[in-house]
Amino acid sequence: MSTLSLKKEVSTMDTQVKKPDKRAIPAVPLKNLETLWLQVGGTLCNLECTHCFISCGPKNDTIPMMTLSQVKERLEESKVLNVKDYYITGGEVFINPEIFEILTCILSYGPLDVLTNGTQITSEKALRLRAIQDSSEHPLQFRVSMESFEESANDAIRGKDAYRKAVAGIACLAEVGFSPILTITRTWEEEQDTEMELKFIDFLESHEVPKPRIKILPGFLLGKLADNNRSYNDEERVTEGCFDSFDITQLQCATSRMATGEGVYVCPILVDNPKARMGNTIEETLRPFPLSHPACYTCRVTGMTCKSSS
């Protein structure tokens, strides 16, 4: 959903909220822990995208990369808690020097989705990833983030040569049999989603991706996007009235947690927010979380999930 659409939704939802509940903050219960996210790349990234909600970049080490040892600790804990699937993100995960060992380790526990900007993937690395997949009984899936099927528009957001390198990475993955999901942050009105999705599908088919798929994300008014566009306003908050006709447990935070090298957070979006840190271990986070951050509003309004499919 674009910023304009989000603003429209504010007034619509306000009319549905009962006055006594206007500032009451609901808490989302942990229904069951299905998904574990791991901030393997920290906040280090080779790109500096103008909309990055945690302002990742080459010099941002606010959140350190996770070590293989740290990943193993969280995986052992997740096994006891019956986690079903895993996601890794950053920053850029392929900057992590232990990334291939980390991938192999996670795949011994369950299915894995890797979020990447694709620019670090070479033919040699793709072959190594193919070998890791072939030796595992669990599926390995990649999500490559871009902004446009036009080079100039993409690089205006993601930086010089980002388009060329990402396209090359997608081609390398496709050549070894992977079908990377293209992830795009919406910069158009939501009503145009179908039209834009078809264009991105055509783009993937032109690069011989076997089963082209698209993941469209709303913009979160945090980090770089807040700096370059605007921050959330006072009206953009969830209240109890927002869930009169919406099951609160449909939110991603009812079934997932986000592990980093410095503790476990409620979700990937709030990973650099100290108030979203719920404990040192996953077990310490198995409790409801108050939806007090404005980013929670975006999740509620759009019904979005960071997962590859809802």
The pLDDT of residue 303 is 87
What integer is the mean pLDDT of 29-39? 97
Contact in structure between 190 and 1 (CB atoms under 8 Å): yes
- Candidates 245, 237, 253; CA nearest to 307 is 253
Question: For the chain, what is the radius of gyration of the CA atoms?
Answer: 19
* Averaged pLDDT, 137-157: 96
Rounded-to-integer distance, Cα 92 and Cα 202, Å? 26
**Per CATH, domain 3-10+26-302 is 3.40.50.300:** no
Q: Could you identify the residue written with the tokens 């392929």?
A: 94
Cβ contact 49:158 at 8 Å: yes
Inter-CA distances, 44 with 47, 136, 193, 259, Å = 9, 28, 30, 16
- Say which amino acid occupies 70: Q
CA 5 to chain centre: 21
Query: Cis link prior to 91 (omega < 30° from 0)?
Result: yes
Whether 131 has a pLDDT exceeding 70, the answer reads yes
Cα 94 to Cα 151: distance, rounded to the nearest angstrom: 22
Split at pLDDT 50, 70, 90, the class of 28 is: very high
Distances in whole angstroms, Cα of residue 172 to Cα of each of 17, 181, 237: 50, 14, 42
The reply to whether the predicted model has a pTM over 0.85 is yes
Domain boundaries, the chain: 3-10+26-302
The pLDDT of residue 310: 54
pLDDT tops 90 at residue 20: no
Q: What is the pLDDT of residues 264-288, one digit of tens each?
A: 999 999 999 999 999 999 999 999 9
pLDDT in tens, 39-53: 999 999 999 999 999
Is 125 exposed, middle or buried, given 0-12, 13-18 or 19+ CB atoms closer than 10 A? middle
The first and second tokens of residue 48, run together, are 């500096």
